[in-house]
Amino acid sequence: MILPSVVEAIGDTPLVELRRIRDALELEGRLLAKLDNLLPGYSKKDRAARAVIEEARASGALAGGQPVVELTSGNMGTGLAIVCGVLGHPFVAVMSEGNSPERARMMRSLGAEVVLVPQAEGSRPGEVSGRDLALVEEAAQRLTAERGAFRADQFRVPANPRAHETGTAPEIWEQSGGTVTAFCDFIGSGGTLGGTARFLGPKGVRCYGVDPDRADHPIQGGGYDMSDLPHLDGIDLAGRLTVSGEDARFHARLLARREGIFGGYSAGANLAAACRLLQGPEKGGTVAFVVCDSGLKYLSTDLWEGA
């Protein structure tokens, strides 16, 4: 089948059972990894980027050729750079200097304008805090007004969770033959967790949020200590687990070495949480999670240092 554009390649990623890790850690149950690191922009945010832009164009909220602005840790921005480039919209990514430089380089290579925002006083490179994100949000609001742009507001636009409610979740359910009993995901905008839970929850699947164990952490793309996450409004989570940066790093390396799946920090956090679930409340069940992005986006960080 020949696709009309790379945008049509967003979705339908493989679901892989991690038997080697299960056996190495002597877990009871099944671990299923959804490989969204294989999407065109190497992250699950491609799904939200496509949905946000296509729905905005269809509704008239985004006019032909109108610029698009969004704050990003790099993944949503990469997805938007791809979709906007194909559909003819200039894209401005607004990102904290604390994020890995690979992300900015990739977005620029895809035609985006990247505006880097200095971190808040006391912040450390590689660890983007809620204070850092607030500064990025201020810059994004200013640029949206200055450019007469459409704001692809991933933290609030309903198209974000809808992309996972209609895509990620049904794919997991169908690919697993309806055997999934639990799902977990690292919380950034809440779009993946919220959308997936809306589909899987009514089927009896218990859904868990994953958070870092402290405010200063290396798991880029989430854990901003934000209480206002509209995409999780009305979602009945079975619980929330905390994962340390060290645990996320260990499990990302385990995923690469045992299963040949090259994911980033958040994938490691998700795997760590899924393993803990099989050791506790979901023992004997089938836990699914998303490999959120590629390890290629972390080569300059300590994720692979000494690996």
pLDDT in tens, 144-191: 999 999 999 999 999 999 999 999 999 999 999 999 999 999 999 999
Give me the pLDDT at residue 128, please.
82
Give me the pLDDT at residue 125, please.
83
Whether 95 and 135 have beta carbons less than 8 Å apart is answered as no
Task: Locate the domains of the chain by residue range.
Answer: 6-43+157-298, 45-151
The 10s digit of each residue's pLDDT in 62-98 is 999 999 999 999 999 999 999 999 999 999 999 999 9
The string of DSSP codes covering 29-92 is SEEEEE-GGGSTTSBTHHHHHHHHHHHHHHHTSS-TT--EEEE-SSHHHHHHHHHHHHHT--EE
> What are the DSSP E strand ranges found in the chain?
15-17, 30-34, 68-71, 91-96, 113-117, 150-151, 182-186, 206-212, 239-243, 286-290
The pTM score is 0.94
* Rounded Cα–Cα distance for residues 166 and 186 (Å): 19
Give me the pLDDT at residue 126, please.
78
Which residue in 37, 35, 39, 43 sits closest to 16, CA to CA?
35
Enumerate the β-bridge partners of residue 288. Answer: 32, 183
- Average pLDDT of the segment spanning 2-16: 98
Give me the pLDDT at residue 219, please.
87
Give me the pLDDT at residue 252, please.
98
Give me the pLDDT at residue 234, please.
94
Give me the pLDDT at residue 221, please.
82
Q: Which two tokens stand for residue 257?
A: 């070495």
Tell me whether the CATH fold assigned to 6-43+157-298 matches the one assigned to 45-151: yes
Q: Would you call 244 exposed, middle or buried from its count of C-beta atoms within 10 A (0-12, 13-18, 19+)?
A: middle
Q: Which helix (H) or strand (E) holds 142?
A: helix 130-147
pLDDT at 307 over 80: no
Which residue in 201, 180, 188, 195 sits closest to 289, CA to CA?
180
The 10s digit of each residue's pLDDT in 96-114 is 999 889 899 999 999 999 9
The 10s digit of each residue's pLDDT in 278-291 is 999 999 999 999 99
Q: Which two tokens stand for residue 167?
A: 């895509």
The 10s digit of each residue's pLDDT in 189-247 is 999 999 999 999 999 999 999 999 987 788 888 877 666 899 999 999 999 999 999 99
Tokens 């690996």 — which residue? Answer: 307
What integer best gives the mean pLDDT of the chain? 95
Give me the pLDDT at residue 224, please.
72
Q: Which fold would CATH assign to domain 45-151?
A: Rossmann fold (3.40.50)
Give me the pLDDT at residue 130, please.
82
For residue 16, what are the CA distances in angstroms to 33, 73, 145, 290?
5, 26, 44, 10
Give me the pLDDT at residue 226, please.
61
Name, of 96-100, 268-272, 296-300, the range with top average pLDDT. 268-272
Give me the pLDDT at residue 220, please.
82
Q: Which CATH architecture is the domain 6-43+157-298 placed in?
A: 3-Layer(aba) Sandwich (3.40)
Give me the pLDDT at residue 227, please.
63
Residue of 56 and 307 predicted with greater confidence: 56
In the DSSP assignment, the letter for residue 278 is: H
Whether 278 and 287 have beta carbons less than 8 Å apart is answered as yes
Whether 33 and 176 have beta carbons less than 8 Å apart is answered as no
Which residue in 98, 192, 106, 89 sits closest to 149, CA to CA?
89
